[in-house]
Each structure stands twice: as C-alpha cells, then as structure tokens.
Amino acid sequence: MDDFAAWTPFGTALVAFLASHAIPARPPLRRRLTALMGDRLYLALYSALSIVLLVWLVHAAAGAPFVELWSFENWQRHVPALLVPISFGLGAAGLFTPNPLSMSAARRPFDESRPGVTALTRHPVLMALALWTASHLVPNGDLSHVILFGTFLVLSIGGMFILDRRARRRLGEAEWTALARRYRVLQWPRGRWLDCRTVLLGLAGVVFAFAFALLHEVIIGVPALAP
C-alpha cells in the first residue's frame, strides 16, 4: 500500500495530462468550445493548461519512487545537449510554416515551391517532439521518467497517424495521396526548401532552446547545462 501511495501523485498527474489532450481533441467538444470562446482564446487557455499540467507531471515524475532500469553514464547527458536545440529549431520552423498535412499555426496558404521543413518531414512539430522525447530518455533510466518520456514518444508518433487520418478526410483521398507521396514522414529533401524564413525560424527555435536550458533548473528542478 505504501508503494502504491508513493506512485499516486505521478499517476494522477499522468492521467490528468492525458485527459487534457484526449478530451478536448474530440471534434464535437472542440467545436463547442471554440464556438463559445473563439479560436484564439481557446488556444491560449488550452496552451496555458497544457503547460501547467506538463510542469506538474514532470515534478511528479521526479518525486516518484526511484526504480533504476539502466545506470547513468556521463556520455548520456550529451545526447539531449545535441538533439534538443535541433528539435526546437525543427519545431519552430514547422509550427510557423504552412502545412496542409499536419500541425501549423501559419495562416498563409501552402506553397509547394517553398515547402520549408515539410520537405524534411510532413509532421515537423511532432517529429521535433519525438526527437526531444527520445533524447531525454537516454539519460533518464529510472522507471518514472521512462514512463513519462515513453508516453510522450508514443503520443508524438501516434499523433502522426491521427493527423494523417484527419488530413485524408479533409483533403480527400486523391489530394492527400498526392501530397503524402511528395512529403513523407521522413525523407531527404528535394528541390528548393531551405529559404531565409525557414533558417530564421530554425535559429529562433535554437535560441529559445538555450534560453529554456538556462531556466531548466528553475522550472524543472534539474540543471540542463550541468558540466
């Protein structure tokens, strides 16, 4: 019973985090919420709630009983140090690049002559999340953090299949198939894709990654730039 009670805060935080993403994702409920609040207010409140729940979940994982699955080696800390800035750059460029196949905050229409990071992967934001998550798994070999980051990894990869299904319905079979063949989940880019805007967005993401690393100990409780 004591062991169960010790895992309860982490389990509660994990369930709350998953519910916050699963329930609003239902199309009927999301339509009602956006009709009531408007798209911008809904996204702002949803983003704020997600951040609060994420911080709670991370702290709950740190406070869970320590069960080692693999031991820490000094080289492991270099994996997130290398991959996290790349993931932030990819995510920033992907989020603000028009993308008919996946997540995007861009309002401009998609231009196939300038696809940006969509030429690398049709799901750049989720690919960035998967990269960030996988890099954090390496130096965190205890059970609670493996559950935490493993859940994020499953959500990011599973989200790609969900977004593919939604895009197929939205675009129609013929258009989706044509775009999906041209822009695969992961591919070597062809044609002109690396323009000035993509580079600047990527660099902004990298700068944000380093800024977050400086605040990592304050927010998460563990230094990201430990020697």
Pairwise CA distance, residues 219 & 42, whole Å: 25
Residues 82 and 42 in one domain: no
| CA–CA separation, 140 and 11 (whole Å) | 18
**Quick one: 18 and 78 in the same domain?**
no
Q: Band the pLDDT of 194: cuts 50, 70, 90.
A: confident
Same domain, 61 and 122: no
Domain termination residue (choose one: 65, 100, 116): 65
Task: Convert the pLDDT of each residue in 106-163 to its tens digit.
Answer: 888 999 888 999 999 999 999 999 999 999 999 999 999 999 999 999 999 999 999 9
Residues in Cβ contact with 148 at an 8 Å cutoff, skipping those fewer than 6 apart: 14, 57, 58, 61, 140
Structural tokens at position 140: 């965190």
pLDDT tens, position by position, 8-54:
999 999 999 999 888 776 777 778 878 888 877 877 888 888 889 98
Residue 111 neighbours by CB distance under 10 Å: 10
- φ and ψ of 223, to 5 deg: -70, 135
Q: How far apart are CA 37 and CA 28, in angstroms?
A: 14
Burial of 144 (0-12, 13-18, 19+ CB in 10 A): buried
Asked if 164 and 157 touch (Cβ cutoff 8 Å), the reply is: no
Coil, strand or helix at 194 = coil
Identify whether residues 79 and 104 lie together within a single domain. yes
For residue 2, the model assigns a pLDDT of 55
Q: Is the pTM here over 0.85, yes or no?
A: yes
- Domain of residue 2 covers 1-65
Of 65, 91, 108, the domain-final residue: 65
